[in-house]
Every structure is written in C-alpha cells, then in structure tokens.
Structure 1
Amino acid sequence: MSPYQVRQELKVVSSPGIDGFITAMSVNVVDPNGAAVPIRRLMLHHIVFAAVGKPNPTCGTTFTGFDSRPYPYKVDAQPFYGAGEERNVLVLPQGYGYRIGKNDVWAVVWMLMNHRNVSDHALIRWTVTYEPASANLTPVTPYWLDVRNCHADPIYSVPGGGRKNSTYKQTYTYTMPESGRIVAGGGHVHGGAKDLVVSEPDCNNRTVYTSRPAWGEPSHPFYHVRPILHEPGPISMSGFLSQQGYPISQGQRIRLTANYDNQRPHTRVMGISAFYLAPQTVPKGCPAKPTDALSIQPAEVKGIPFRTKTPKFIVPLTGLDANGHAHTISRPPGKTVAVKNGATVSAVDYYFSKPNVSIAPGSTLYWNFGPTTLHNVTLANGPRGFASPNLNDGRTFKFHFKKPGTYRLFCGLHPVQMTETVTVRKKKHR
C-alpha cells in the first residue's frame, strides 16, 4: 500500500475446499511471517466474505457498487461473515454450522488504511473452523441487515446539532421468507454509535437482540494512531447466542435500528447486523423467547478495559508538510474566496479547485467530480455532518449550508491529499 493510502478492493479467494460446515471464523492483518500488524501501521477498516453463486436473501438481484452505480447484471453473492476495526468473530452454538461445498467460490470486499508515510505490505489472514459433512450439523442461513442495504459502501452521515443525549435513528425492515430460529447475531458500527437493535414489529416490536459497542479507554491505540483518518470505532461489539434459538415465522417482519449520538456530527457511518437462522417450523404468532440467550461482549471476555458511553471525539483535518509527512492543519494553503449560492468546486486528481471558500448562510455548494479517479467530499469536523458517495465521471453532489461556522472537509479516499474548508458567514442583522 502507498503512503497514507485508503484502499478498497473486491477479490475472489479460495474457500476451504471441503463439503462440511463452518462453526467459527476470524480475520486479522499479518506480516509475511504471520505476526499481527499493529494498527499504527495498517488498519483493516472492514471486510466482508460472501459465497459466490448463493443468493443474498435480503438483496435480491440489485446491488450498488463502490462507485455508487448499480451493477448492470444480477448479483448472486451471499455474505456470511464480516468484521471491522472491532474484529468481530463468528461463533455458532454447538450443533449448528454454515454449510460449505468443496467447489465453493468466495469473494471478499475489504478496506485497508495505511497510517504511515511509507509504502507497506501485509496479508489478510482468515481462520476457519469447520466440521465435515458427516458431522450432520443443523445448517444455518445468514441474513444480512443493513440500514443502507445492498451497497458495497453502505455509508450515511449523522448531521448532529441535537440536544445532549439525543439519538439519530435509521431503520431497515425485512419480511422473513422462511420460518426458523435465530441462533446467533452480531453487529458493526462506526464512531458515535450507541447500539444496534434487532426487533420484531409484528410482536409489539419486542427485541430479538441488541448489539452494543465497547469503546476503548482513552489510552487505547485506536485513539493514538496518527494521522487520524476517521472517527475511531469500537474495540468490540456484543453478540447474541442461543442454542434454543429465537423463533420467527415466515411473513413476519424483522427490523434493524441503528442508534447514533446526534449531539455531534458523525460521517460515513454504518449500521449492519448479521444473524444466522436455522430454518425449521416454529409456532405461529409470537411464541416465547429462548431461555438460554446470551449477550457476549468480547472485550469483557478478554479482560480488556472499555467504556460503554459513546466517547466524544473530534476528527481533525490532516495535510502534508514539505517532506510529505502528515500533520494536523486548521485549513489547506490558499486564501479564502467568497462564492455565491450555487457555486461549483471541482474535485479532481488530487485536490479541490477551491480549497477555502466562504458563503452566505442558506447557500448551496456543488462539487463536480473528475473523469476517472473516484473521490468524495466528507466532513471532518464542523457544525453539521454530511458526506457524498464515491463519485467520478462528471457526477455532482450538493449540500445546503444553513448553520454558520467552519466546515473542515476532506476526501475519505484521499484524506491527507485532498482537504477543503467552507466558512458559512454569520447572518447579518439589519
């Protein structure tokens, strides 16, 4: 990886090549000798494994790529395991497994961040625990719930500006195509999250499970990596396990609610939860919950100190000095230019054409993205949170600036090369 590079790729990889069942799975970033690579070098922001040729029940045939364009062809790829900074681990209760075949083809989507000004090299290593087909385990089907479902980059932004302890909610509701019992579940969020709740709207919206973030202590490496390329995420997420399984019937709805702090802005966040269903006949209506359900917080199990309250963290703007080293800046070089409502900024390789602009409150600013390389515009810090999709080929994005103040912006794909400030002037009172 190049210095300070943010890189995302889709790759076809090998599967275990056996007929059997996966019972556990984990992932890490390692050097050629197999030693874990610290996040001060490379951070695995997220990774998703999918079985090619198997249907994704929550997506159907539509999917939007990393370039924010719908795929022009049918996509059959079933996501069955994912992890982020929190390094989620897949563990199924005893007696259950995710069925795999010896001819299965897997695909992975991953994003890595290089936190140093030198080129680096590492490997992504995944560890799979499996049983042969003769083990005769009960098969499970993975269901992938996402408040921005069926996107390679399923991000959204929390605007902030709410009262203390206010919450910004996003939901995704799905109608189950089959009956069964949910035996495991977990979640993925970004900085600023409160929790993820999976519930049953048709049963008084009772909670199936809640996935809660564990935040590192102030001394945790997540808060001391330099340069800071995004708001730090949790060090672990709690997971749900039940050998009895949570019953849900075909035709019943299941809902994911992603809860984020709304006092402050949080950009390019996610709200994802995957659960594993053992298909079988269950009683109609709203039968009793399992009595053996467990909520497991990995940080607690490992004895790692953590915070439960969403920490306050301000993402700074980062630029490059004359020697190519990243450092915190208040604004990019160049004078501030006053522009009118409806003005356009070009986002090209690798700069914003107007790095410092000033506008009147209530103005709309446009960004026009260059012909080839993907870029985006994302708030680092400022009065209100927003972020564009990844765009190129002359596509545009706009934002209506209502709240006065300084908006420090960057490209999330090229965070130290492309920075900008937008100053929204205070409204003049006559």
Structure 2
Amino acid sequence: MVALAGRASKAVALALLVGGIWAPASSGAQGSPAGGAQPGAYSQLVWTKPVGRDTTRFEFRYGPLFAAPGHNLILVGPVTIEKPPGDGWVTRVRPDLVDASGKAPPIEQVHMHHAVMLNLSRKDTTYPSLPQRFYGFGEEKTIGQLPRPYGYPVSSSDVWAINYMLHNETSQTKEVWVQYDIDWIPASSPTGRRLRPARPAWVDVQNGKAYPVFDVNRGSGTRGKSTYPDQVTPSPYGRGPKLNEWKVDRPGTIVAAAGHVHPGGLWTDLSVLRGRRRVHVFRSSAKYFDPNGPVSWDMAMTKTPLPWRVGIRKGDVLRVSATYDTKHASWYESMGLMLLYIADDRSGPDPFKHRVKTTGKVTHGHLAAANNHGGRPTGLADPRKLANGSTVASGVGIGDFTYLPGDLSAGGAMELPPVASAGTPLRFGNFDAGGSIFHTVTACRAPCNRSTGISYPIANGRFQFDSGQLGYGPTGLSAAKNRIDWTTPASLPPGTYTYFCRVHPFMRGAFRVLPRH
C-alpha cells in the first residue's frame, strides 16, 4: 500500500497545465492488466480431506487474478472453474480471497467487492435469462451450509464459472486468487442416496442488473437508518417491475438463507407476501467487529440456523429489502440481497399460521484481513490551517494518484488548498483514466488526514458531495461515469473542504471556498 504521508512530490514539480486542468507530466497506470480478461488465470484443486461420513472437502483456487490499480470492473473468468468429480451434492461452501502465500490480503489494499458462483448448465431460479447463481460472497465471506437432509445437486456434466469484481485500493498491481472450499457427497454413496435437492434462489433489490447497486445518502431515512427500496422516493423501480420481489413458481420449503450488504449495511429482510397479507420470515444482520461501528468490512452476516424452515406456496411473493446506517456516512454503490435455498418438499411450517424464528447466527468471527481500521495520526497537515493556495480557474487535475493542486501529501505550494469564490464551481479531471484507473472526489470530515484503513476515511464530510467514479468502463458492468471531469456544487458556502478517493482512500485533498467580494 502507498503510505499516506510518504509519496514523493517529484510529480508535483513536473506538473503541467493540460487541457485547462492541472495534470502531472506522467499520468497513467503503473504496470499491469487494466481490468480486462485474465489470460493466465486457471482453476486448480489444492487439497482434499475427509470431513464426515461420505463427505470430502475440496479446496480449489482460481487465479492468478491481476487487479490493476483502481481495478473496479465486473469480470467473468475466461475459463470455467473446477468442481468435485462425478455426480454429487454440495452441502457447504467456504469462500475466500488469498494471495500467493494462501493468506487473505489486507482488505484496505485489495478486496472482493462481490463474487458470484455460476452453474452455466442451468437457468437461474429468479432470473431465468441468467445462468444459475448458486453462491456469492464479498469480504463478509459467509460460510454457507445446508441442513441435512438437503444438498445442492450437481451433475458431472455441469459447468461452473465465476463472476467477480475485485477492488484494488492501492497504486500497485495486486495478484490474488479466489479460493473456495466445497463439501462434497457423491450421489452414489449411502449418504448421497438419502439427500434431497434444494435449489438456489437469488432475491436482490436490483435483481437482474449486471451491476446491482444503489446509493445511500447520509441523513436519509429515519432515525439514522434507511431501507431500500421502501424509503426511497420516488420508487427506484418507477412503473417497471419490482426487482426486489420474486413470485414463487412452485410450492416448497425455504431451508437456508443469508444476506449480503456492504459497509454501512445493517441487515437484509426477507418477507413472504400472500395476497394482501405479508409476514417477515428472516433478518440477516451484519455483526460489526469494528470498534468504529457499522463503517467497514470488519463484519459477518448472520444466516438461518440449521433447523430453520419456512413453507411457501406457488404464487407467494418473496420480497427482500436492505437497511443501511445513515448516521455515520454516505454509502455509494451499495448492495442488498438474500440467497435462499428452496426444497420441493412441504416440510416447512406455513409462516402465516406459525411463528417463525427471524434471527440467525454468524458463521465466523473477526478476520485478520480486517485488522487495520486506520485513523491513526500521520505527518499530514491540517488543511484548515494552511494558507490559501492559488486560484485555479483551470481546475484540479488527478494524475499519478495525486490531486494537483491541493493534495495533502504533495508538499510545498501544491499542498495548499486551491481557492474559488463562493458560487464558482471547481473543476476536477481524471488523467489516470487512460489506464482504466478510476478516481473519485468524495467529501470527508476535516481534517481527513489520518492513516488509511478499512474504516478511515469514509464519506462523512459536513457537506456531502461525490463525483462518482471518473473514468471509462463498459456501461452496466462498472461504476464508471464514462467521463473524466466533474465540478463541485456551486452551492458550497465559504470554508475549507476535504475529500478523498473512494477507489484509492490514501488519496486526500482539500480546496477552499472564499466569500464573494
């Protein structure tokens, strides 16, 4: 990771005025595949071991995956991923992201935004135009386990793949592998002959979208919380279908459920609608180990207890919502979903006739990859105490992972906050975009000069603003704004404003708005 206070200011001395915006002479990516295909990646078996009667645990790794600086694209592997041999049953999945040593890298350097395991040989349950989504994870790394006597049936001819979005928060290429442990029971074994099939059902607040995200603004909702889509007006779905609902196609029993949220997420709720009636059946809650509260990936999600069951009828509607904290910060590009497994039997109690347990348990505790919360003192100046910088009608350039002028680690005159008169927007331009490197200009609370970690900085500026991810990427497959420039709101009152890059949080800057004379 690039040290917050230790970057050389040589690029500052070479700054040029390009296209009306300040930009370093050498702006671009620092060596690596820039978010395209990963031609060297392959899937391999690492080890196997028996873990129970007729049950073998397989550990697979897929990689190496080269996450370029600013890598934030959704990719599907150019090759399929390995699975256990023959016909059988998956009863447990444990996902991870690891480096060459087999250890999980620090989350503040590189992490899995989200990954989805796909069975290309089957249609998806809730969105049939997609291949079947049978497991997914982010840095919460929920361990999925189906209760006996259920399993996910897999044929020897099934083909698996993985859709993933890596997030490299540094200025250097990172090499990682997706690791997944599968508990496997052969179909021909005595245990395998007794298992019953359960199918995956993916219920998402943005179901079917290639990049299924939404923004949560600080202060929205009520009492420091906001629920999507319930508290969003107008409806994010407009007059179209409610993407967070799925009509059950045949009767069955939900035998397992777990949710996925991003930092700031509090829980996802699953409800069953039957006619005009509605009943809440499960809440997958985020348990934060971070002492700073619900602000980072230092957390785990709860899943249903193994004895949990809910019976559903054909024509019932399954509905999911996601609740986020809005007291601490704004949360951009958030997610909210629930992965269910549904058996075709009718063993589950009818939730409209019987009370259902709606709470669950986490599948792991604090993970070492989430140790660095950040927020420690550094040698960076408090920009509120710095003298005025220059008036830059030409704007601020972003290049070589530096904001020029006004970068807090630039040193000299380029460290001073550039100034603009009240009512005059300040323009920013991303000159790293040619290397598929995204940058943002996101408000953080002043002085915003402490060490980088998974919970610092966050989007908690006194006045909220966010440029979105400046750069270019395929529409719908990335958060790219498909432009490189952005201007600050003209409504900002006089004062010093600090900001950071959500893609590379070690990048910090400041500007100052002066009273109009």
The answer to whether TM tops 0.5 is: yes
After superposition, give the CA deviation of every residue in 1:385-414 in whole Å (9 maximum; x if it has no partner): 656367527945978945657665555445
Other-structure match for 1:146: 204
After superposition, give the CA deviation of every residue in 1:337-393 in whole Å (9 maximum; x if it has no partner): 459xxxx99988977799767575697989899677363636352223656367527
C-alpha separation in 1, matches of 2:404 and 2:261:
33
C-alpha separation in 1, matches of 2:467 and 2:147:
39
C-alpha separation in 2, matches of 1:31 and 1:99:
31
For the pair 1:156 / 2:221, whether they are aligned, the reply is no
Distance 1:94 1:284, change over 3 A: closer
Report how far residue 101 of structure 1 moved.
1.6
Report how far residue 110 of structure 1 moved.
2.9
**Counterpart code for 1:259:** T
Q: Compare the two structures and name the one with the higher strand fraction.
A: 1
Q: Do the aligned partners of 1:29 and 1:122 also contact (CA within 8 Å) in 2? A: yes
For the pair 1:213 / 2:286, whether they are aligned, the reply is yes
Moved more, 106-115 or 31-40: 31-40
Moved more, 207-216 or 254-263: 254-263
Distance 1:234 1:39, change over 3 A: closer
For the pair 1:274 / 2:339, whether they are aligned, the reply is yes
Q: Do the aligned partners of 2:90 and 2:154 also contact (CA within 8 Å) in 1? A: yes
For the pair 1:247 / 2:311, whether they are aligned, the reply is yes
Other-structure match for 1:232: 296
What are the within-5 Å matches in structure 2 for residues 94-173 of structure 1?
Answer: 94-113=148-167, 120-134=174-188, 135-136=192-193, 137-162=195-220, 165-171=223-229, 172-173=244-245
Moved more, 377-386 or 363-372: 363-372
C-alpha separation in 2, matches of 1:190 and 1:379:
18
What are the within-5 Å matches in structure 2 for residues 331-342 of structure 1?
Answer: 335=390, 337=392
**Counterpart code for 1:187:** G
Q: Do the aligned partners of 1:196 and 1:210 also contact (CA within 8 Å) in 2? A: yes
C-alpha separation in 1, matches of 2:382 and 2:82:
43
Q: Do the aligned partners of 2:440 and 2:503 also contact (CA within 8 Å) in 1? A: no
Q: Do the aligned partners of 2:269 and 2:280 also contact (CA within 8 Å) in 1? A: yes
After superposition, give the CA deviation of every residue in 1:230-261 in whole Å (9 maximum; x if it has no partner): 95124211111354621122222221111112
Distance 1:77 1:217, change over 3 A: same
SS at match of 1:53: strand
SS at match of 1:210: strand
**Counterpart code for 1:205:** R
Q: How well do the aligned residues superpose, as a CA RMSD in angstroms? A: 4.6
**Counterpart code for 2:247:** T
C-alpha separation in 2, matches of 1:260 and 1:365:
31
**Counterpart code for 1:147:** V
TM-score, normalising length: structure 2: 0.60
Distance 1:102 1:6, change over 3 A: same
Other-structure match for 2:87: 19
Overall identity of the aligned pairs, in %: 25
Other-structure match for 1:375: 438
**Counterpart code for 1:126:** Y
Other-structure match for 1:388: 468
C-alpha separation in 2, matches of 1:133 and 1:217:
42
Report how far residue 201 of structure 1 moved.
3.5
Question: Unmatched 5+ residue regions in structure 2?
Answer: 1-65, 230-243, 368-372, 407-417, 445-460, 474-480
SS at match of 1:205: strand
C-alpha separation in 2, matches of 1:279 and 1:388:
44
After superposition, give the CA deviation of every residue in 1:37-96 in whole Å (9 maximum; x if it has no partner): 4546643443221112322233343xxxxxxxxxxxxxx322111122221111111111
C-alpha separation in 1, matches of 2:426 and 2:316:
43
1:174 to 246, 252, 258: 246
**Counterpart code for 1:49:** M
C-alpha separation in 2, matches of 1:176 and 1:423:
55
The alignment of Structure 1 onto Structure 2 pairs a total of residues equal to: 382
Other-structure match for 1:79: 133
C-alpha separation in 1, matches of 2:347 and 2:487:
49
C-alpha separation in 2, matches of 1:208 and 1:399:
45
Distance 1:38 1:412, change over 3 A: closer
C-alpha separation in 2, matches of 1:123 and 1:156:
27
Distance 1:385 1:118, change over 3 A: closer
C-alpha separation in 2, matches of 1:125 and 1:255:
31
TM-score, normalising length: structure 1: 0.70
2:262 to 182, 190, 202: 190
Report how far residue 126 of structure 1 moved.
0.9
SS at match of 2:123: coil
After superposition, give the CA deviation of every residue in 1:127-173 in whole Å (9 maximum; x if it has no partner): 00011223132111111122232334332221113588332111322
Other-structure match for 1:57: 125
**Counterpart code for 2:303:** G
After superposition, give the CA deviation of every residue in 1:101-137 in whole Å (9 maximum; x if it has no partner): 2122222233445566765544322100011223132
Other-structure match for 1:69: none
**Counterpart code for 1:10:** V
Q: Do the aligned partners of 2:221 and 2:227 also contact (CA within 8 Å) in 1? A: no
Distance 1:30 1:286, change over 3 A: closer
Q: Do the aligned partners of 1:52 and 1:106 also contact (CA within 8 Å) in 2? A: yes
SS at match of 2:211: coil
C-alpha separation in 2, matches of 1:290 and 1:138:
25
After superposition, give the CA deviation of every residue in 1:303-351 in whole Å (9 maximum; x if it has no partner): x69xxxxxxx9999x9xx9xxxxx89969x9745459xxxx99988977
SS at match of 2:160: strand
**Counterpart code for 1:245:** R
**Counterpart code for 2:162:** V
C-alpha separation in 1, matches of 2:256 and 2:69:
37
Question: Unmatched 5+ residue regions in structure 1?
Answer: 62-75, 224-229, 306-312, 322-326
